[in-house]
Structure 1
């Protein structure tokens, strides 16, 4: 399951499709060099398989590559940042 990316007009999504159906997504918007990660979702039957974590890692890599700070407004993203604040200090927009 490959992670795909779609960005239009400063709004974007990392997502995974399986059998032509979207099974997971991480939605964000970018404004003033801040990536606001506001939603992460995985189909209920696929939860607990690390799919959200893969999307999170893709978002982190992308933000670092582009030099963005991250506003973790999604509860899942915020929890990941709070769990390892030193690891994401360079990204975390306060």
Structure 2
């Protein structure tokens, strides 16, 4: 079974970074989604897709994946770029 380990990104709608230090483990989809004939909603019978596990560190997530025999892809955390700008720069 394939899975990916990544660090949660910051919510674009808020300035705070709460919860971004957690590492997440998500399973890769086992089957494609298909449209429901009655309502048209996309869905599948894959219940692993609904599961997302959170860990305090990357090493804990990797240890869990190795213990369970999962094939993992570790997605590195992108570097954080700060755009430092003064309020007066808005009026130049």
Quick check: which has more Rg, 1 or 2? 2
TM-score by length of 1: 0.30
Larger proportion of strand: 1
Higher relative contact order (CA 8 A, sep 6+): 2
